[in-house]
Chains A and B, each alone.
Chain A
Amino acid sequence: MTAEIQSNDTSPSAIAKIFKSLGLLRESPIAIFGLSLILFWVILAILAPILPLYDPNAPLEPFKMPLSDARDGGLYWLGTDHKGRDILSRVIFGAQQVLIWATTATAVAYIVGMLMGVVAGYLGGWWDEVISFISNVLLSFPVIVLYIIIITYLGATGFNIVLAVTFASAPGIMRIVRGLVLDLRTRDYIFAAQTRGESAMYIMLVELLPNARGPLIVDACLRLGYTTITIAMLGYLGLGLPPPDPDWGKMIAETQPLGSFAGHMAVVPAAAISSLVLGFNLLADGLREISMKD
């Protein structure tokens, strides 16, 4: 996360800085724990294709409890679901889905929100009026209503989910960035750049945004957690990505009515979501704590 945002400058000193800021994490055990939870899922998701797992969509033997033997001599670590699909494999492949879409959606929302915020904050005037007004209108929608309208009208595809998350989150990001920029624009280095005759574009992208990154990194972490919840929630409500690919939210929705005799089928994906979101929230908390110390 940290590395991603800072790596827009690839000079050796920038790389050294990244290592230094990763070293800072040692100051907060909470941040380390959060980061480990996230890395746990990221590594599983990346390794998913080469791990010795059953096909996540193959119907094997239905309603097997965790740790029961498979017909082919293997082991169902977390059991199988009502259609006989291996739950461990579905949870790991589901992690792939949720991580890919949550990061993409948050990144796109951030690009849009940051551009809106820096333009509104730096150019001011009509730009500010129009952008702030659009944001206020969007913020007056309960987020779930935005999701329902966009997804039922445009269809449940990955692209539309990214679009819906952008509509719902960009106004909030815009507000934060605008506030930061209003503060930063009165700094001396901005006047220096203006006197040098730099273009407004250069000042916004090179001088303002990188200097606003501190609070934004914390916010981005929280938003990643929230977007993870959103994507799983859309899956749960039947507005998520189309089947058959495993999706944590949909796994809960499908198996919830069968909870009376095979509770593990819904509990496993619920625990998976909670642990990943907890990772993002703890990392954000730790990072905030570290930034307050400086």
Chain B
Amino acid sequence: MLILAFRRFLSMALIMVIVSFTLFAIFESDKLAVAGKVLGPYSSNEQRELWLENNGYNEPFLERYVSWVGNALTGDFGYSIQYKSPVADVLWPRLGNTAILAGLYMLFMIPLSLTLGVIAGMKEGSIQDRVVSVGSVLTTSVPEFASATFFSAIFVFWLGWLPGTSAMTSGFSWAEIFLPVFVLVMYGFGYTTRMTRASMAEVMTSHYIRTAVLKGIPYRRVIMKHALRNALIAPFTVIILQLNWLLSGVIVVEVFFAYKGFGKLLLDAALFGDIFVIEACTLVAVFVAVFSQFISDIGYTLLNPRIRFT
């Protein structure tokens, strides 16, 4: 087990090195463009050259890469042009806000989709299966920016129950976070539900479940004690890997509801050309994605009773 974890860790580290090198090459191989972004479009060539010299940009490319990675690892991501402050000061609070959003999403999405998936997969082809399956296709067909439009038309403009923006200007507010989380859950739960359903349906046709039923064990007990453990392995990996594309939904929702999170920070930086913020955000995003893959691999082998390490 430890050897496997170590091997996975090495491949994770290798991917991070390659990805960070690629990002660095894309963003910083053209030194003059970097200086132009930092000093603004009206700076002269001499000013840009001087800035490059003062900031150590005339070192060889590889050396710059190594010191860039070193700085990033110690939490120094450079200086934000747009916010006129160190990137780290902007990045961490934003990341915290997004963690709240993503955490609440997981808190509601996981029980909902596991329950629905198990109910549907218990009896393949039954009415309950049909309803859940069609329902999950329906909700996964409505992207976040569309469902956000519908729900705010209903709850904000028509009924007037909820606020239309989630800027949280006067501290954290449950009313303001409700719609962003709701929109994310509506779009996201269908996929996990379908995975759980497929996994559950497969387990229900297996011989050991048939044996358990024939032995006369009550149906409830068969489901709860025998089927669930195996049926929930696949959904576990799916849920963790979701982090990878949850980011797109998070960006959309944060933009729609003006929530001050990581996604909006990345998009604003990209549209503004705030180069060091883009670098920091993409690094963090890729790190979260790669790390979640690592966790899902390890978790899968730990959960699966068919894989045992001695």
Residues of A within 8 A of B (CB): 30, 136-137, 140-145, 148-149, 152-153, 225, 229, 232-233, 236-239, 249, 252-253, 256, 259-260, 263, 266-267, 270-271, 273-274, 277-278, 280-282, 285
Nearest-CB distance from A198 to chain B (Å)? 37
How far is A282 from B256 in the complex, measured between Cα atoms in Å? 27
With CB as the reference atom, state the residue of chain B lying closest to A147.
B248
| B-chain residues with CB within 8 Å of residue A136 when the two chains form the complex | 15
Within 8 Å by CB of B248, from A225, A233, A277, A285, lies A233
Complex interface bits, B143-157 against A, C-beta within 8 A gives 1, otherwise 0 = 111110110110011
| A-chain residues with CB within 8 Å of residue B158 when the two chains form the complex | 263
Known: A238-B267, A249-B145; 16 extra A-B contacts, CB below 8 A, are A140-B15, A140-B293, A141-B19, A142-B247, A145-B286, A225-B141, A232-B146, A233-B143, A236-B145, A252-B145, A252-B149, A259-B153, A260-B164, A270-B146, A274-B143, A277-B143
How far is A238 from B290 in the complex, measured between Cα atoms in Å? 27
**Residue B177 CB within 8 A of the other chain:** no
Contact B143 A141, beta carbon cutoff 8 Å: no
What secondary structure prevails in chain A residues at the interface with B? helix
Contact A140 B289, beta carbon cutoff 8 Å: yes
Contact A263 B286, beta carbon cutoff 8 Å: no
| A-chain residues with CB within 8 Å of residue B237 when the two chains form the complex | none
Contact B286 A277, beta carbon cutoff 8 Å: no
What range describes how many residues of B lie at the interface? 35 or more
Contact A233 B252, CB 8 Å, known A142-B245, A270-B150: yes
| A-chain residues with CB within 8 Å of residue B134 when the two chains form the complex | 30
Nearest-CB distance from A264 to chain B (Å)? 9
Complex interface bits, B129-145 against A, C-beta within 8 A gives 1, otherwise 0 = 00001100110111111
Residues of chain B from 243 to 258 with CB closer than 8 A to chain A in the complex: 244-245, 247-248, 251-252, 255-256
Contact A143 B149, beta carbon cutoff 8 Å: no
The 24 sampled A-B contact pairs (Cβ below 8 Å) are A140-B19, A141-B289, A143-B248, A144-B245, A149-B23, A149-B282, A232-B143, A233-B145, A233-B248, A233-B252, A236-B145, A237-B251, A239-B270, A239-B271, A259-B149, A260-B157, A270-B145, A273-B143, A274-B146, A277-B141, A277-B142, A278-B138, A278-B141, A280-B141
Residues of B within 8 A of A (CB): 15, 18-19, 22-23, 26, 133-134, 137-138, 140-147, 149-150, 152-153, 156-158, 164, 244-245, 247-248, 251-252, 255-256, 266-267, 270-271, 273, 278, 282, 285-286, 288-290, 293
Contact A152 B270, CB 8 Å, known A142-B285, A142-B286: yes
Contact A259 B266, beta carbon cutoff 8 Å: no
Within 8 Å by CB of B244, from A137, A143, A232, lies A143
Contact A281 B145, beta carbon cutoff 8 Å: no
| A-chain residues with CB within 8 Å of residue B164 when the two chains form the complex | 259-260
Nearest-CB distance from A95 to chain B (Å)? 15
How far is A274 from B244 in the complex, measured between Cα atoms in Å? 23
